[in-house]
Amino acid sequence: MIKANYKKYILNFKNPSGTSRGILRTKETWFIILTENGKIGVGETGLFRGLSIDDISNYEDKLIWVCKNIHLGLGSLLKALYEFPSIQFGLEQAFLSLHSEDKFELFPSQFTSGEKSIPINGLVWMGDKDFMNNQIKEKLRNGFSCIKMKIGAIDFDTEIELLKSIRKEFSPNEIELRVDANGAFNPNNALEKLEILSELEIHSIEQPIKQGQHSDMAQLCAKTPLPIALDEELIGVFSFEEKKKLLKMIQPQYIILKPSLIGGFAGSKEWINLANEMNCGWWITSALESNIGLNAIAQFTDTLQSDLPQGLGTGGLFTNNFMSPLEVSRGTLQYNPNRNWNFKLI
């Protein structure tokens, strides 16, 4: 008989990390731990305060309910938790982990054997000009060929200067540039800003305006001079019909999938199938999980066989992350099977 409990953990950022929603210094997360016949399964429920649809005051009550009702099995629990995508994701991991030979190897592959790596983007957090410039230089030094810069918190002209400084040195063939506005632009001037950005041959922009403004976003996607990727727009869209309706109406060039925020592996696959039907591109991004959640997302991503750089470079952000086989090298995420896990909560 399977038994379940959960544990809370606070991740501490090495450097305060800036988004258009403010500065992040800590990130709370929870782990679902399953036991059965001496075996252990672990899954991370990657709640993201202020962003997750399941960021509610009685979140832990729901985790208590899950642990008491673990006997219902994964399928029934996922259906009951359709409004709690982060817990769905944690449960998917925990059950896979419990039934795997190695509890941290959820999808055995050439990636987990260390024979294959996943191309990722180098993430540049918001801050003042010098802080962002230093991050850009560091990413280039570390061999990234795709850089994603968060914009929208400082002056737009300054952000354009930073992007221009990269383009002066590196052509689009050498460095792919992505930007993430986190909904910071106003619908009235967003197109004008997209035109300025397009002159720098930007690969794509994530969520230029706030989610929920569907007709404005649809107009932007129809007129945009550079590809638009939906991110926050996907959060809280639960049913297959709603997902299809959203993509049909907005017709984005890309969608970005954060398993913690959209219902784990099953939720991500549903979005991917719809995107493929509509000739819409996609990639996977982590959402500040610890290495437990990041490991699960990376292994899942590898099964999808995408050639695009993924957003999986967040494992080094925290001072107290768990030691793991995950390594970032030359713009890729790699799994070093010779490195051991150090997960102290079990």
Residue positions annotated with a catalytic role: 150, 258
Angle at 253 between CA 47 and CA 199, to 5 degrees: 105
Question: Letter for the amino acid at 156?
Answer: F
Dist. CA 19–CA 15, nearest whole Å: 13
The SS3 call for residue 82 is coil
Listing from the earlier edge strand, what are the strands of the sheet with 39-45?
Answer: 3-19, 22-36, 39-45
- Token pair, residue 59, equals 């979140």
E strands within the chain?
Answer: 3-19, 22-36, 39-45, 118-119, 122-124, 146-150, 176-180, 204-206, 228-230, 254-257, 281-284, 326-329, 332-335
Dihedral sign computed on CA atoms, order 288, 292, 294, 296? negative
Would you mind telling me the total number of residues written for the chain in this entry?
346
What lies within 8 Å, CB to CB, of 297 at 6+ separation is: 259, 284, 286, 289, 312
**E-assigned strand segments in 207-261:** 228-230, 254-257
Are 239 and 247 in contact by the 8 Å Cβ rule? The answer is no
